[in-house]
A = this chain, B = another copy of it.
Amino acid sequence: MALIVMKFGGTSVANVERIKNVARHVKREVDAGNRVAVVVSAMSGATNQLVSWVREASLLHDAREYDAVVASGEQVTAGILAICLQSIGVSARSWQGWQIPILTDNAHGAARIKDIDGRKLLARLNDGEVAVVTGFQGIEPERQRLATLGRGGSDTSAVALAIALKADLCDIYTDVDGIYTTDPRIVPKARRLSKISYEEMLEMASLGSKVLQTRSVELAMVYKMRTRVLSSFTAPDAMQATSPETWGEIGTIVCSEDEIVEQQVVSGIAYAKDEAKVTLLKIEDKPGVAASVFGPLAEANVNVDMIVQNLSSDGKHTDMTFTVQEAELPRALEVLKGVQKEIGYFDVKSSADVVKVSVIGVGMRSHAGVAAMMFKALAAKGINILAITTSEIKISVLIDANYSELAVRTLHSLYGLDKE
Contact = CB atoms under 8 A, between A and B. Distances in A.
Interface string A34-66: 000000000000000010011011101110111
A16 B53 contact: yes
Nearest to A132: B65
Given A62-B83, A69-B79, A57 B20 contact: yes
A166 interface: no
Given A69-B79, A69-B83, A99-B144, 11 more contacts: A16-B53, A20-B57, A57-B83, A58-B87, A62-B83, A62-B93, A65-B94, A68-B75, A68-B79, A68-B94, A99-B145
Which 10 A/B pairs are nearest by Cβ-Cβ distance? A69-B79, A58-B87, A72-B72, A68-B79, A16-B56, A57-B83, A65-B79, A61-B83, A65-B82, A72-B75
Given A16-B57, A53-B80, A86 B72 contact: no
Contacts of A82: 62, 65, 68
A53 to B, nearest CB: 6
A83 B53 CA distance: 10
B79 A66 contact: yes
Q: Is the interface of A mostly helix, strand, loop or mixed?
A: helix
A125 interface: no
Interface residues of A, number: 37
Interface in A72-125: 72-73, 75-76, 78-80, 82-84, 86-87, 93-94, 96, 98-99
Contacts of A84: 57-58
A163 interface: no
21 contacts: A16-B53, A16-B56, A16-B57, A54-B80, A54-B83, A57-B80, A57-B84, A58-B83, A61-B83, A62-B93, A65-B79, A65-B93, A65-B94, A66-B83, A68-B79, A68-B94, A69-B83, A71-B75, A72-B73, A72-B75, A99-B144
B68 A78 contact: yes
A364 interface: no
Contact of A80 (B60, B69, B76, B86): B69
A270 interface: no
A3 B75 CA distance: 33
A64 to B, nearest CB: 7
A76 B72 contact: yes
